[in-house]
Amino acid sequence: MDMEVLRTDVLVVGGGAGGTAAAIQAARRGTHTILVSEFSWLGGMLTSAGVTAPDGNELAAFQTGIWGAFLRELEFRQPHGLDHAWVSFFTYDPRIGAAIFADWVAALPTLRWIAGQTPQAVLRQGDRVCGVQFEDYRIEAKLVLDGTELGDLLALGEVPSRWGWELQAEFQEPSAPIVPNAVTQRYPVQAPTWVVVMQDFGAGAITPEIPPPPNDTPEQFSQAWAKYGAEKFLNYGRLPGDRFMINWPIHGNDYGEGVARLVGSTAARQAFLQESRWHTQSFARFIQTQLGRRYGLAENIFPLEPAASTLELKTQSVLGGGAYALHPYYRESRRLQGLVTLREQDLLPIPSGQVATLPLIVSVSGCLQAENCCDAIAIGNYANDHHYPSGDIELQPKSIRWGGRWTGTPFTIPYRSLVPVTVDGLLVCEKNISVSHLANGATRLQPVVLGIGQAAGMAAALCIEQNCQPRALAVAQLQEALLQDAIAPAAIIPLLNLPPNHLDWLNWQRYYLKQPEAYPHNGNCPLGATADRQQFSLSAPKTYPMISGVFHRSALESYTFTITAPDSLSGKQLNLVTLQPDIAQQLINCMDGTCLTVGGKVNCSGNWLLVEQLQM
């Protein structure tokens, strides 16, 4: 069959979280865009990789852009809400997430989606990328975005990139090793995880036995939930319908043995993927044998994909078709060498503060930017979380107390980390941004990558409109376009007390972008009164069950609640938490022993009461 030749303004390669967001944003701007994915589901780690318990950007102030729109659509489509597990405030059926992205893409007349294709070669004219060749297509484009899970276009296009650890001498990162050690040599990047969804079919049920894979070694899982207990282990990633996302880091299904094979030959990558899949099958079998046959593989969660570049269809069926994700959750990939590299110290709190410093452009050759310009384009706040089967590594702390719980120091992603040093015609929009190995532990999370993708898609559209290269795009124009997007306006400056439905939201975002030196070290802008969510609503008001009880303060921003009504919950003591800035401030001011009536939802998995309304 002859290869079909297509031409477009923007080509996005990879249907993961970043690539999907980038293609949607570019097309919403009206730019002719082609999105090419390997799998039949879009969303990557949010859907096809099965990690349907997103981490980070959980505070109401950070639920903006495509990430915020995704959460609101999930809440609308999933009848029993999102707060089911204790690892995340948001867990959902992956089929719902995939349907949301598919519907958004289908609604865009300027976006064409081609599934079942992987990049084979990058087309270049000198220092400019001008297209990509796939199995059945040659697609020429004015601008190409690398949204692949492993930064494959960087390798195919010979774009300078990094893989593995940086020693302390390179970026002066405080937690970086001074010399190579056993962990750096054995695990050059974080371990991927092949997710499986299991289900409790009820007492007395006898589900089909999960067969042992060729590398079945149950003894390696013997301490998996020793410190937690079986119930809490299962509730870690509890999904609706008595299902459980199995993505467990402690003697669980993280798999990193020979992980460098992912960037080796096709055969080497295939071998690693097969071992990773078998490792998860072995863990699922261990769970079943230890906890009983009432627990089995969930049915028809994921589609059975035709053999692409992962595993044969018949192998998928043997392993439990429909329960296993379509591909692993990749925590790290090749990483671009960009105009700036985001480092560990760029994510850490300002001294005596609780936010990271804003990225500033002092002077960059070839960039049309003003000096001392803030070039932030996306936000994150997750802790720096690294996964190695040998155990955790010691990292500088970046956690803060907020709203009755631990969260992470807010930080920003600079636009320059998406732009190659010398190559034109290319942006990155996934975990492949210009970031150090250590900092990747905080930038790799789903909401951050959606924000990166949205910014990359908007930047691509603006470059097409202005007929310029990404390095020549004025970042202030990109920031303004993101802030004023008609469908999913995105926050750029992390402000803990300013939700996106506040009337002054846009003004304060602009103010700190233009005067970054005034950015408050505590992350709170001077609103005077607390941010009132009733001033402007992004969606219809919600009603919550009202629960009465006695408020207790155990420490600064650490609260418990002894319920007195309704009778069905009377006497139960829960942690009191909130994601809303106005509620957080009221709890700070609340006296120990105060009787309260709150509106919210009890999460038995996390032993918390998530407060959405408060009557004092």
State the pLDDT confidence band at 67, using cuts at 50, 70 and 90.
very high
Would you say residue 575 lies in a domain?
Answer: yes
Would you say residue 187 lies in a domain?
Answer: no
Residue 14 to residues 18, 189, 432: CA-CA distances in angstroms? 8, 20, 12
Under DSSP, is residue 50 helix (H, G, I), strand (E, B) or coil? Answer: coil
Do 391 and 457 lie in one domain? The reply is yes
C-beta atoms surrounding 308 within 10 Å? 18
Give Cβ neighbours of residue 102 (< 8 Å, ≥ 6 apart).
Answer: 41, 42
pLDDT at 411 over 70: yes
CATH number at 112 reads 3.50.50.60
pLDDT at 319 over 50: no
pLDDT at 318 over 50: no
* 8-state DSSP, 492: -
Give Cβ neighbours of residue 495 (< 8 Å, ≥ 6 apart).
Answer: 61, 508, 509, 512, 523, 524, 525
Measure the CA–CA gap between 156 and 118, rounded to whole angstroms.
Answer: 12
Would you say residue 179 lies in a domain?
Answer: no
Do 141 and 227 lie in one domain? The reply is no
Q: How do residues 211-221 score in pLDDT, each as one tens digit?
A: 999 989 999 99
Q: What count of Cα atoms within 13 Å lies in the side-chain half-sphere of residue 366?
A: 12
* 8-state DSSP, 298: -
C-beta pairs of 361-365 under 8 Å, 24+ apart in sequence: 361/416, 361/475, 364/339, 364/340, 364/416
Would you say residue 275 lies in a domain?
Answer: yes
Q: Tell me, what's the pLDDT at 391?
A: 82
Do 341 and 461 lie in one domain? The reply is yes
Do 559 and 493 lie in one domain? The reply is no
Q: Tell me, what's the pLDDT at 35?
A: 99
pTM score, whole prediction = 0.95
Q: Which of 320, 352, 381 is the last residue of a domain?
A: 320
State the pLDDT confidence band at 531, using cuts at 50, 70 and 90.
very low
Would you say residue 540 lies in a domain?
Answer: no
Do 21 and 118 lie in one domain? The reply is yes
Do 154 and 11 lie in one domain? The reply is yes
pLDDT at 368 over 60: no
Do 251 and 147 lie in one domain? The reply is no
Q: Tell me, what's the pLDDT at 189?
A: 98
Do 71 and 91 lie in one domain? The reply is yes
C-beta atoms surrounding 203 within 10 Å? 7
Q: Tell me, what's the pLDDT at 537?
A: 45
| φ, ψ (nearest 5 deg) of residue 295 | -100, 125
Q: Which domain holds residue 550?
A: 546-615
**Average per-residue pLDDT in the chain?**
93
Measure the CA–CA gap between 48 and 15, rounded to whole angstroms.
Answer: 9
Under DSSP, is residue 573 helix (H, G, I), strand (E, B) or coil? Answer: strand
Measure the CA–CA gap between 472 and 371, rounded to whole angstroms.
Answer: 14
Would you say residue 380 lies in a domain?
Answer: yes
Do 133 and 229 lie in one domain? The reply is no
Q: How many domains does the chain have?
A: 3
Tokens of 604: 């038995």
C-beta atoms surrounding 504 within 10 Å? 15
Which DSSP helix (H) or strand (E) runs through 7?
strand 4-13
Task: Tell me the average pLDDT across 457-472.
Answer: 98
8 Å CB contact between 415 and 375: yes
Do 51 and 28 lie in one domain? The reply is yes
- Beta strands (DSSP E) in 136-221 are 137-146, 161-162, 196-200
Measure the CA–CA gap between 347 and 6, rounded to whole angstroms.
Answer: 41
State the pLDDT confidence band at 314, using cuts at 50, 70 and 90.
very low
Would you say residue 536 lies in a domain?
Answer: no
Q: Is the peptide bond before 306 cis (omega within 30 degrees of 0)?
A: no
The CA angle 22-412-414, to the nearest 5 degrees, is: 65
Task: Tell me the average pLDDT across 525-547.
Answer: 65
Measure the CA–CA gap between 339 and 362, rounded to whole angstroms.
Answer: 12
Q: Tell me, what's the pLDDT at 329?
A: 98
pLDDT at 320 over 70: no
pLDDT at 367 over 90: no
Q: Tell me, what's the pLDDT at 307?
A: 41
Do 148 and 288 lie in one domain? The reply is no
Task: Tell me the average pLDDT across 128-134.
Answer: 98
Which DSSP helix (H) or strand (E) runs through 602?
strand 595-603
Percent share of the chain, pLDDT over 70? 93
8 Å CB contact between 415 and 459: yes
CATH number at 572 reads 2.40.50.140
Q: Which of 320, 353, 375 is the last residue of a domain?
A: 320
Do 307 and 369 lie in one domain? The reply is no
Q: Which of 469, 501, 518 is the last residue of a domain?
A: 518
Would you say residue 120 lies in a domain?
Answer: yes
pLDDT at 315 over 70: no
Give Cβ neighbours of residue 106 (< 8 Å, ≥ 6 apart).
Answer: none
